[in-house]
Structure 1
Amino acid sequence: MASRSCIVKIISFLLVFAISGTILQNSLAWPPRDDESPSKNGDTSDAATIFKPLLLPSTGATRSASRSLSSSCQIQGLDDRVLKVYMYDLPAEFHFGMLDAAISGGSWPRNISSLPRYPGGLYQQHSPEYWLTADLLSSADPSSRKSPCSAVRVADPATADIFFVPFFSSLSYNRYCRTGHRFQGGRGCVENDRLEKRLVEFLRGQELWRRNGGVDHVIVMHHPNSLMVARSLLKEAMFVVADFGRFSRAVANMRKDIVAPYKHVIPSFARDATTFESRETLLFFQGAIVRKEGGIIRQKLYEILKDSPGVHFVTGNTQKDGIRSATAGMRNAKFCLHLAGDTPSSNRLFDAIASHCVPVIISDEIELPFEDELDYSQFCVFVESDKALRKGFVVRALERIGRDEWTRKWAMLKSVERHFEYQHPSLPEDAVHMTWRGIAKRVPALKSTAHKIHRYDRH
């Protein structure tokens, strides 16, 4: 009996081993071979095989979506949320062709690792369009990046969460509307308007746009004067903006759109060893003082603050000498003033962050990037406009902030500055990553809106 029992146990063990081997072999074969589950992309990369079903909703099957991911972006862990983006192949004149006339034979530059540079100076402050587009291109190019992706470009629209429109609208405005290319009478800009009209015709002719009315499309409109012709015609799309100062609520609003930071003009303060005592200026501001609309407060505050002890409040320009002096001034100041100008925001806030100069924000209507994740009160000082206009109020408020509190804010600035850095290739938690993450948070609402659109479709 004992020997029979041993034989039964041996046979049972062999059966379990054989079944386990079959399960293990099948698991190692994931995803299925092309002949088992056809895919439009045909991507059987290692990254695709280890990536679990995406946490974001997908219009396609899980297997197809997993296989559409780029192998060039390193997957840091199974809990990563990666946004799947279908990017239109617009002609080069809509994007990199504005930077390099030689890019004319196809949609994209041949060497993704060495893209044409975006213009410097103040032009670069409205450049999120460039960095987001470059990030998508490099997500599918193993030679151009090894860093993780927060968004990947997919070739199959059925697997996409959102649809990205690579139009450099801010660059188009700066290039064609600030250089004399205008209609008679100064109304509009010939080439810029032509591109915007072509873009509207193109998108409205796409089945992907018509399917959901454009609500799942993303267009960068960062310069407040960009997309003037097209914005009201494409208002259903999600816009990436600097703020909402020059847009009607029907065109742009916090419900559907994303606020992205300006790219700072002042260089980053890499080796900042300053202290509360070594920063001798109490409050620094250098820039245009006479502004229109909401910027009227600048002139009033100038009259109040210009002669206050410890305050540097002067007009300045954006040429090299102006940037150089502003850099030195911000790095020597405890606090840097951010005032509403023609719009509620400006790159001066992000110059202050890059300089580790605690921002003093006097702009009641400002909307800040990534504020759902970042508590700006930890590294900024906010003052209501009506209080700021009381003589002596701002200076007294800042003088009450002692060494310990200022040092905490200064240290926090150094810890959050990475969130406001645009770079290519992008790095985790930088401005590119954070902007994609903000867009990804809108995806569930987009899906809900799209489903409601089709409630009464008749088949």
Structure 2
Amino acid sequence: MKRILTSWLAMKSYELMERTLKVYIYKDGNKPIFHQPILKGLYAAEGWFMKLMEENKQFVVKDPAKAHLFYMPFSARMLEFSLYVRNSHNRTNLRRFLKDYTDNISAKYRYFNRTGGADHFLVACHDWAPYETRHHMEYCIKALCNSDVTQGFKIGRDVALPETYVRSVKNPQRDLGGKPPQERHILAFYAGNMHGYLRQILLKHWKDKDPDMKIFGPMPHGVASKMSYIQHMKSSKYCICPKGYEVNSPRVVEAIFYECVPVIISDNFVPPFFEVLDWDAFSLILAEKDIPNLKNILVSVPEEKYVKLQLGIRRVQKHFLWHTKPLKYDLFHMTLHSIWYNRVFQINVRR
């Protein structure tokens, strides 16, 4: 069987994490911003990690002196929901709130100051998280859905968090899977809101232009439209994943979930787990300028290569799934490993 992780170093790092890693979780902070995970919808990734980390008995320690890493368990989504003044276009108070929190734990405990926060980490899926955590959490390891190198995301320190749209809290794997390659008769599919400039370009070139390219705007609301969206993904060879307002899109993980080869179109986007997974083995990553030539690129992929890409999705799918009780190599463990891996990397670089 092919190795799950791509490098010997990554394999050893994962094994070392499982044997030795200890995490201290700060109890400071009140609900709903702290310690209240959102487990459904677009921002579910930060909530599921928070829930599973706070419930964990393998890695979590009560004595901070025994910890290798320190988790600051806030929800960027609840920060926005609780404090943002609608239509104000001013997020300064959100940033100040997290600065006050950071100042509090650095004054109350001795652990933050000894490394400048380099052994502390946060997990945030909201688009605004890079801004909210800038400066006062600058040296912390940031697991972010908005993994944009032009907005301060540091490769080798920060972690690209998969953006996962969870539809069922009780069964986050509901509807998992899709049709086999020979039964996928739609070449390419996209449907979604017109967030950002890139999706406008995509629709300009491909909406209603080619029967093989099922490129839509928003689908009608309702249960039937949700099933239609899912069935399109399950029946398509390629699922187009253009960026929205920011570089990230939940469609990348949705495509993997429904075994549709993701076509990622987002300059400056850092793919999740790129340090241990070979994205070329299960996705296509295109430049934004390639949109006018999109169909030619897709039809030029040999059938043999497409079948390998689809098989690659089924091999890596386990890394992008949440479980109510975490399993080895699942999304919880892979996210925690990336945080651990980058911390070990930082220490080795300094040496």
SS at match of 2:238: strand
Q: 1:185 to 1:248 in 2, by over 3 A?
A: closer
Show the 5 A alignment for 1:30-109: 80-93=18-31, 95=33, 98=36
Quote how far apart the aligned CAs of 1:98 are. Answer: 4.5
Residue in structure 2 matching 1:254, options 155, 160, 164: 155
Quote how far apart the aligned CAs of 1:442 are. Answer: 2.3
The separation in 2 between residues aligned to 1:79 and 1:224, in whole angstroms, is 29
Residue identity (%): 22
**Partner residue, 1:221:** 124
* 2:25 and 2:73 in contact (8 A); partners too: yes
**Partner residue, 2:40:** 120
User: Which of structures 1 and 2 has the bigger CA Rg?
Assistant: 1
**Partner residue, 2:201:** 300
**Partner residue, 1:104:** none
The separation in 2 between residues aligned to 1:271 and 1:227, in whole angstroms, is 33
SS at match of 1:121: coil
2:270 matches 1:350: no
* 1:379 and 1:412 in contact (8 A); partners too: yes
* 1:94 and 1:195 in contact (8 A); partners too: no
* 1:276 and 1:403 in contact (8 A); partners too: no
* 1:176 and 1:189 in contact (8 A); partners too: no
Q: Which one-letter code corresponds to 1:279 in the other structure?
A: R
**Partner residue, 1:433:** 333
Q: 1:163 to 1:79 in 2, by over 3 A?
A: closer
Q: 1:319 to 1:161 in 2, by over 3 A?
A: farther
Q: Which one-letter code corresponds to 1:162 in the other structure?
A: L
Residue in structure 1 matching 2:318, options 418, 438, 441: 418
Quote how far apart the aligned CAs of 1:344 are. Answer: 1.6
**Partner residue, 2:102:** 200
SS at match of 1:93: coil
Which one has the bigger helix percentage?
Answer: 2
**Partner residue, 1:280:** 185
Matched positions, count: 332
- Can you list the C-alpha shifts for 1:110-132, whole angstroms capped at 9, x where unaligned? xxxxxxxx3523242xx33x333
**Partner residue, 1:235:** 138
Quote how far apart the aligned CAs of 1:379 are. Answer: 1.1
* 2:149 and 2:269 in contact (8 A); partners too: no
Quote how far apart the aligned CAs of 1:187 are. Answer: 2.6
The separation in 1 between residues aligned to 2:290 and 2:29, in whole angstroms, is 51
**Partner residue, 1:324:** 227
The separation in 2 between residues aligned to 1:211 and 1:311, in whole angstroms, is 55
The separation in 1 between residues aligned to 2:18 and 2:151, in whole angstroms, is 36
* 2:147 and 2:248 in contact (8 A); partners too: no
SS at match of 2:22: strand
SS at match of 2:42: helix
SS at match of 2:211: coil
* 2:203 and 2:217 in contact (8 A); partners too: no
Q: 1:213 to 1:351 in 2, by over 3 A?
A: same
| RMSD after superposition | 3.1
Quote how far apart the aligned CAs of 1:435 are. Answer: 1.0
Q: Which one-letter code corresponds to 2:51 in the other structure?
A: A
Quote how far apart the aligned CAs of 1:264 are. Answer: 3.3
The separation in 2 between residues aligned to 1:318 and 1:241, in whole angstroms, is 30
The separation in 2 between residues aligned to 1:374 and 1:425, in whole angstroms, is 23
Quote how far apart the aligned CAs of 1:348 are. Answer: 0.8
Residue in structure 2 matching 1:315, options 217, 241, 264: 217
**Partner residue, 1:68:** none
2:73 matches 1:166: yes
Quote how far apart the aligned CAs of 1:185 are. Answer: 4.3
Quote how far apart the aligned CAs of 1:245 are. Answer: 3.0
Q: 1:268 to 1:398 in 2, by over 3 A?
A: farther
The separation in 2 between residues aligned to 1:376 and 1:318, in whole angstroms, is 32
- Can you list the C-alpha shifts for 1:350-379, whole angstroms capped at 9, x where unaligned? 111101111112222110111121111111
Show the 5 A alignment for 1:350-369: 350-369=253-272
The separation in 2 between residues aligned to 1:405 and 1:318, in whole angstroms, is 34
Q: Which one-letter code corresponds to 2:187 in the other structure?
A: L
Gaps of 5+ in 2: 1-11, 168-172
Instruction: Please give the TM-score of this superposition, normalised by the length of structure 2.
Output: 0.83
Instruction: Please give the TM-score of this superposition, normalised by the length of structure 1.
Output: 0.65
**Partner residue, 1:131:** 48
Quote how far apart the aligned CAs of 1:431 are. Answer: 0.8
Of 324-333 and 310-319, more deviation after overlay is shown by 310-319
The separation in 2 between residues aligned to 1:223 and 1:78, in whole angstroms, is 30
* 2:149 and 2:268 in contact (8 A); partners too: no
The separation in 2 between residues aligned to 1:448 and 1:442, in whole angstroms, is 10
* 2:192 and 2:217 in contact (8 A); partners too: yes
**Partner residue, 1:46:** none
* 2:35 and 2:73 in contact (8 A); partners too: no
The separation in 2 between residues aligned to 1:89 and 1:79, in whole angstroms, is 23
